[in-house]
A and B are shown apart, each in its own frame.
Chain A
Amino acid sequence: MHSILFVVFAPLAAAIIAGFGNRMLGNTGAKLVTTGALFLSAALSWPIFIGFLTGSASAEVVPVLQWVRSGDMTFDWALRVDTLTAVMLVVINTVSALVHLYSWGYMDEDPSQPRFFAYLSLFTFAMLMLVTADNLVQMFFGWEGVGLASYLLIGFWYHKPSAGAAAIKAFVVNRVGDLGFMLGIFGTYLVFSTTSIPEILEAAASMSGATIGFLGARWPTMDILCILLFIGAMGKSAQLGLHTWLPDAMEGPTPVSALIHAATMVTAGVFMVCRLSPMFEAAPIALAMVTVVGAATCFFAATIGTTQWDIKRVIAYSTCSQLGYMFFAAGVGAYGAAMFHLFTHAFFKALLFLGAGSVIHAMHHEQDMRYYGGLRKRIPITFWAMMAGTLAITGLGVYHLGAGFAGFWSKDAIIEVAFARGTGAASFAFWMGVIAALLTSFYSWRLMFLTFWGTPRWIESEHIQHCVHKTPEEAGADTTGGYHPHESPWVMLIPLIVLTVGAVAAGQIFAPAFLDSADFWGGSIFYNENLIHAMHEVPYWVKYSAFVVMLLGLSGAVYAYLLKPDVPAKFVSAVAPLHNFVFRKWYFDELYDAIFVKPAFWFGHQFWKLGDIATIDRFGPNGVAWAVQRGAVAAKSIQSGYLYTYALIMLLGLIAATTYALL
């Protein structure tokens, strides 16, 4: 038996056992089963990955079960293992195992822990099915499966109306993307007569000059197919236009945000584009769209990140922004760089989220950074872990020293490769990437300074007030309110420490393989040797641009949040309209509510009341009934019971019949 079978199905088995054995197993049993399964999967994933890293493994497909045979359309359950899958396996299983462990502490007081752990393991299974898919339909299975798990986990605290709403929003917005994905699969089947990914990729180049009809117009075949599939990716990876669900998804417990909404599920779109990279390379228009959408998202989300107060929302917008980097890297043809950033981002973003969770845990569930401050000394391990995550995301590193944190290696490569590609879309992406790097540095340090530096502002928080039973007035000068933040338990700190290692070192160690080695990828993605070479040859000002803007962002944050804490408020009031626009998330939610949600309900109501009741029923069955009734009334008046009326009618009938016969 191939170890991949255990890697994929152990989490499923654990989810079923924990979910259905809910009451028999108890909390500890459910937690042991799920966490144990995930550590097993993680332990089995690393050897697979190292096999590809050292070149000793080769791509293979492990069949599982027949799925659908319908005419010429066939697709089966099967597990594909190649380099691209192996990268995802270690990312998913490592982060998932750590998040399972972390949740022992974070969810300790929750009444329905078996359910939580069952959902987490179920999610992991679905994500693994997605990345091991050998055909588009199984990928879609995983795609929807992670969507279900995400829905369940966002809505985990289902008694909160906001959680229920966020869960639906996540599912429905993702379904908009899935509409594109499904049509993309149909179109791909129509063109290639198969849904097998290797077969499609092999034939893709031969269709690069083809045209096809879609919605009554002619289109370049590969472009329309790739655009449809990319719409799916936009939904899952929260790209501009279909991003609105991701910030709301923060309603879920923080470990969920770390696993699903940072490290794994939201990167599925990037994975999909990389998996299908030979197909996208036959579709220049679609690639330009990927580049522009990615670049726009990375800038747009970063602007919002600078204004939010909720610590998790800042990180959520940061995720959205970082996904934009991955997409435009793929769009300009550097799929290895996109996957590399996916890989490093998984570590440092999971670290930031779990660190934020540790802060929230310490601060009695308060998530508003306005009520933090001065936590550096109180929760030192969390502080240093967050510090490592921040240095990683802002990309600290010096080119000439050849040393840096994880984000330095992956993000700088993306910025450089966009410059090296040099097309209009790529140049746009380059500048957006640089500006977003500045904003990233600013909002990341803002988060750090507001949380860990300055004076404590804890007593302003309602959560803290509830805890210490004091109002700010009663607390007086002691702005801590006498509250004592406590460092998290070791089950939470160990995952932080492990991820810290990843955030510090993952870039340094793996850059040569991910960026520069066609052998490492082994044909699992489209590897553009010339482009990567050109990336290394970009001028120094490009190589140092990310570093310089990182310092600028840092200085801005130091100035505004450490040296002159009254500056931000003044600045905000000076540019109030602009600030409002950004703070209200560019009014996307309001816009969608006005053009989609409200009209849907309005039309539904109109169709029901005016369509069904006032038109169809009125002229249909009720109309017929009415006509029959009127006819009966008329008929009744004829049936008077008097002989002479019958005689008259008989006479009239006789005349009519005779007339008819004579004519």
Chain B
Amino acid sequence: MDGFPILSIMLLVPLAGAIICLFVEANAARWTALLATFATFALGVMLWANYDIGGDQWQFTERAELVAGFSYALGIDGISLLLIMLSVFLMPICVLASWGAIQKRVGEYMSAFLFMETLMIGTFAAQDIFLFYVFFEAGLIPMYLIIGVWGGDNRIYASYKFFLYTLIGSVLMLIAMFWMVALAGTSDIPTLMQYDFPAGAQTWLWLAFFASFAVKVPMWPFHTWLPDAHVQAPTAGSVILAGVLLKLGGYGFLRFSLPMFPQASADFAWLVFALSMVAVVYTSLVALVQHDMKKLIAYSSVAHMAIVTVGLFAFNVQGLEGAVIIMLSHGLVSGALFLCVGVIYDRLHTREIERYGALSNNMPYYALFFLLFTMASIGLPGTSGFVGEFLSLAGIYQVSTTVALICTTGIILGAAYMLYLYRRVAFGPEKNEDAQAMGDISPREWAMLAPIAAVVMWMGVYPESFLAPMRADIAALDARIAAAAPASDSQLAVGTPKADAANAVPYVESHSNDAKDGEH
């Protein structure tokens, strides 16, 4: 791959597609978008195939100096690779999901999506902090448009809320970035990741970044934009929002907060834990009482992302790797769940749970897919959800048993709200005639759901494919932050082992039962 600027090409292909889409009629735009996203996915597969596991930390690097120290620098490590793969994998599926559902301004819509793909790949590949900022923030604009133009009835409120929340956090981050670059004398991210900022400054810098990432994750109580945005967004918008945009926050913590401010990260771990614990219990319970399918899944996302944040701040390998796996898994699973909602929304045009029921009758394959993703969402072993959740919680247990206990209640609450949803949609008596008249999934919908299902199972049964690329990067990060790691509350003291087993009994002399019968 020497000299072949694959990352730049991956940025350019969707960008070119986006421009073409603006000038062609609806059907041509659909095919252009599909072609462009497939081409980008193919490039992604090439990227993965050529990524050298155990090689250099930063691979496929490209660099061009621009004005005033601001450079066009790209490069990826294993974590970036996985998140880029997630993005390029979901994109063609999003185009398919929008195939018939979007009828107005199709060219602009596809263009927005392709533009977004460029920005997402750019965010994960940027090696210059300002380049990162540009990609990171510009991603807001197409999403804002997708919700605001192609969204539901209350789309304006939702898009403003989305924009306001995410922008306010970002402003603080930008100021912090200027300060850091001035101090360290470079805007190169790999260099900054090794730079030791003074302890006092770390606190403020950490908080400034936190303001941005906490909104993106989103962490409680900065989460209220998410349900509204999801409910109003078109299906594919929700898929990208849940699948990729929510991962930007976690990626930010991994790439900036933890390696650049390890001390402050350790100092503020309690804050992250507290907010995450609240999120798990609070948003799970809120999810339980929702009547709108998308809202329910949106709230469940907040609960799941809370397991990501505790894993990230567990300061050990299991926590970090678990967090990345949940990010990938949640991207796939919640994306798939939104697609499942979209499938029936396209037929009945309502997200109201009560309007469905007994879909197992007339849509058996749909019910099967929905069941699989429901089970993956509640972390059934053998699916991707379990691997991430298990590692992340195992990581946090090594730091705090209390946090682990509270966060693990998520497996009970998650089962409750997801199965309750599934029961109301797929089981029960046949109460709505129009819901019973819906046909099972079409070949196009098979093409959307089956690949995700396959990857969800793959990641659950053989996660090594996903753990291997990031192993060295996580180990490096763990080494960088290990010194600041908080103490465990377990404090094992081995003591003196007992001599006997608990049920040890002395040997009873045999007596002939017949002879001593009368004694008892």
Task: For B386, list chain A residues within 8 Å (CB).
Answer: 141, 144
- CA–CA, A280 to B504, complex, Å? 12
Contact present for B464 and A208 (CB under 8 Å): no
- CA–CA, A164 to B427, complex, Å? 7
Which of the residues B286, B375, B415, B490 comes within 8 Å of A175, measured between beta carbons? B415
- CA–CA, A600 to B417, complex, Å? 11
Which residues in window 120-175 of A have CB below 8 A to B? 137, 140-141, 144-145, 148, 151, 155, 158-161, 163-165, 167-168, 171-172, 175
Report A500 CB to chain B, min CB distance, Å: 32
Task: For A208, list chain B residues within 8 Å (CB).
Answer: 497-498
Instruction: Summarize B's interface: helix, strand, loop or mixed.
Output: helix
Contact present for A616 and B398 (CB under 8 Å): no
- CA–CA, A333 to B503, complex, Å? 5
Stretch at the interface among A52-60, A176-184, A464-472, A479-487: A176-184
Report B249 CB to chain A, min CB distance, Å: 17
Report B373 CB to chain A, min CB distance, Å: 13
- CA–CA, A421 to B503, complex, Å? 8
Q: Are A182 and B408 CB-contacts (below 8 A) given A65-B462, A71-B318, A209-B497?
A: yes
Contact present for B288 and A141 (CB under 8 Å): no
Report B121 CB to chain A, min CB distance, Å: 27
Contact present for A172 and B416 (CB under 8 Å): yes
Task: For A148, list chain B residues within 8 Å (CB).
Answer: 375, 380
Report A628 CB to chain B, min CB distance, Å: 9
Q: Are A190 and B398 CB-contacts (below 8 A) given A70-B318, A537-B510?
A: yes
- CA–CA, A588 to B517, complex, Å? 45
Which of the residues B286, B489, B497 comes within 8 Å of A207, measured between beta carbons? B497
- CA–CA, A141 to B464, complex, Å? 17
Q: Are A530 and B505 CB-contacts (below 8 A) given A70-B467, A601-B288?
A: yes
Contact present for B494 and A210 (CB under 8 Å): yes
- CA–CA, A83 to B19, complex, Å? 68
Does B411 count as interface, using CB distance less than 8 angstroms? yes
Contact present for B224 and A209 (CB under 8 Å): no
Task: For B361, list chain A residues within 8 Å (CB).
Answer: 159
Report A527 CB to chain B, min CB distance, Å: 11
Does A528 count as interface, using CB distance less than 8 angstroms? yes
Contact present for A616 and B221 (CB under 8 Å): yes
- CA–CA, A332 to B505, complex, Å? 10
Contact present for A214 and B420 (CB under 8 Å): no
Report A316 CB to chain B, min CB distance, Å: 22
Task: For B397, list chain A residues within 8 Å (CB).
Answer: 183, 186-187, 190
Contact present for A534 and B404 (CB under 8 Å): no
Chain A positions 66 through 93: 1 when the CB is less than 8 Å from some CB of chain B, otherwise 0: 1111111100010000000000000000
Does A282 count as interface, using CB distance less than 8 angstroms? yes
Contact present for A540 and B517 (CB under 8 Å): yes
Report B78 CB to chain A, min CB distance, Å: 14
A628: nearest chain-B partner, CB-CB: B164
Task: For A531, list chain B residues within 8 Å (CB).
Answer: 503, 505
Report A565 CB to chain B, min CB distance, Å: 38
Does B496 count as interface, using CB distance less than 8 angstroms? yes
Task: For B505, list chain A residues within 8 Å (CB).
Answer: 333, 420-422, 528, 530-531, 534
Contact present for B394 and A176 (CB under 8 Å): no
Task: For A144, list chain B residues within 8 Å (CB).
Answer: 380-382, 386
Contact present for A189 and B394 (CB under 8 Å): yes
Contact present for A528 and B224 (CB under 8 Å): no
Contact present for A284 and B502 (CB under 8 Å): yes
Chain A positions 597 through 616: 1 when the CB is less than 8 Å from some CB of chain B, otherwise 0: 00011011101100110001
- CA–CA, A318 to B394, complex, Å? 37
Q: Are A164 and B405 CB-contacts (below 8 A) given A182-B390, A211-B493, A537-B510?
A: no
Report B167 CB to chain A, min CB distance, Å: 11
Does A281 count as interface, using CB distance less than 8 angstroms? yes
Q: Are A528 and B513 CB-contacts (below 8 A) given A67-B462, A179-B409, A601-B289?
A: no
Contact present for A605 and B408 (CB under 8 Å): no
Task: For B283, list chain A residues within 8 Å (CB).
Answer: 607
Contact present for A209 and B426 (CB under 8 Å): no
Report B175 CB to chain A, min CB distance, Å: 18
Report B315 CB to chain A, min CB distance, Å: 12
Does B317 count as interface, using CB distance less than 8 angstroms? yes
Which of the residues A65, A145, A168, A176 comes within 8 Å of B382, measured between beta carbons? A145
Task: For B391, list chain A residues within 8 Å (CB).
Answer: 68, 70, 73
Which residues in window 305-340 of A have CB below 8 A to B? 332-333
Does B358 count as interface, using CB distance less than 8 angstroms? yes
Residue of A172, A537, A603, A621 ringed by the most chain B CB atoms within 10 A: A621
Contact present for B493 and A68 (CB under 8 Å): no
- CA–CA, A139 to B340, complex, Å? 31
Contact present for B520 and A213 (CB under 8 Å): no
Report A94 CB to chain B, min CB distance, Å: 26
Q: Are A159 and B318 CB-contacts (below 8 A) given A65-B462, A210-B493?
A: no
- CA–CA, A198 to B326, complex, Å? 30
- CA–CA, A109 to B497, complex, Å? 61
- CA–CA, A150 to B245, complex, Å? 36
B161: nearest chain-A partner, CB-CB: A621
Which of the residues A281, A333, A624 comes within 8 Å of B164, measured between beta carbons? A624
- CA–CA, A530 to B503, complex, Å? 10
Does B165 count as interface, using CB distance less than 8 angstroms? yes
Which of the residues A164, A528, A604, A621 comes within 8 Å of B503, measured between beta carbons? A528
Does A108 count as interface, using CB distance less than 8 angstroms? no
Contact present for B506 and A530 (CB under 8 Å): yes
Contact present for A190 and B494 (CB under 8 Å): no
- CA–CA, A320 to B497, complex, Å? 36
Contact present for B390 and A607 (CB under 8 Å): no
Does B423 count as interface, using CB distance less than 8 angstroms? yes
Which residues in window 289-314 of B have CB below 8 A to A? 289-290
Contact present for A617 and B224 (CB under 8 Å): yes
Contact present for B504 and A607 (CB under 8 Å): no
Contact present for A209 and B494 (CB under 8 Å): yes
- CA–CA, A420 to B498, complex, Å? 23
Does A206 count as interface, using CB distance less than 8 angstroms? yes
Which residues in window 393-414 of B have CB below 8 A to A? 393-394, 397-398, 401-402, 404-405, 408-409, 411-413
Which of the residues A66, A165, A183, A282 comes within 8 Å of B498, measured between beta carbons? A282
B residues near A, CB below 8 A?
160-161, 164-165, 168, 221-222, 224-225, 227, 282-283, 285-290, 316-318, 321-322, 358, 360-361, 364, 375, 380-382, 386-387, 390-391, 393-394, 397-398, 401-402, 404-405, 408-409, 411-413, 415-416, 419-420, 423, 426-430, 461-464, 467, 471, 475, 478, 488-498, 501-508, 510-511, 513, 517, 519-520
* Interface CB pairs A-B, < 8 A, 12: A73-B318, A141-B386, A161-B429, A164-B428, A165-B423, A208-B498, A333-B503, A333-B505, A533-B507, A534-B505, A539-B519, A620-B165
Contacts A282-B501, A612-B224 known; 13 new A-B pairs at CB < 8 A: A70-B317, A148-B380, A151-B419, A164-B423, A168-B416, A182-B393, A206-B497, A211-B495, A213-B490, A215-B401, A284-B502, A422-B505, A620-B165
A residues near B, CB below 8 A?
22, 65-73, 77, 137, 140-141, 144-145, 148, 151, 155, 158-161, 163-165, 167-168, 171-172, 175-176, 178-179, 182-183, 185-187, 189-191, 205-216, 221, 278, 280-284, 287, 332-333, 420-422, 526, 528, 530-531, 533-534, 537, 539-541, 600-601, 603-605, 607-608, 611-612, 616-617, 620-621, 624-625
- Top 9 nearest A-B pairs (CB, nearest first) are A333-B503, A71-B317, A539-B520, A209-B495, A604-B285, A186-B397, A281-B501, A141-B381, A158-B427
